[in-house]
Amino acid sequence: MRPLPAPISPERWIMQLFSAQTVAAGGIVRRQVRDVERLVGRERFLREVRRRGYRAIENGGYFVIFCNTDPVLVVT
């Protein structure tokens, strides 16, 4: 069994996520729903996504965050 990593504050987790190079480049990131809910909470996470003008979808236990303001179109 692996040891658990040191706890991270919700503020630091959000700061690290949204300061990643992929985010700065307008890319796409994904995070497990269970990790988001455990570390920062679903509502706070979604509030941060909306505040930045980004979009997020949930599928298969993951949040997929589109780190730009372009519309998201589900094609199939």
CA 51 to chain CA centroid, Å, is 13
Please state, in angstroms and rounded to a whole number, the distance separating the CA atoms of residues 49 and 43.
Answer: 10
pLDDT of residue 17: 96
Per-domain residue ranges for the chain? 10-66
Let me know: does 54 contact 9? Beta carbons within 8 Å. Answer: no
Let me know: does 23 contact 67? Beta carbons within 8 Å. Answer: yes
User: In this predicted model, which residue has the larger pLDDT, 4 or 54?
Assistant: 54
**pLDDT, tens only, 2-25:** 877 768 899 999 999 999 999 999
| AA identity, residue 58 | E
Q: Which two tokens stand for residue 51?
A: 């505040």
Phi, then psi, of 48 in degrees rounded to 5: -65, -40
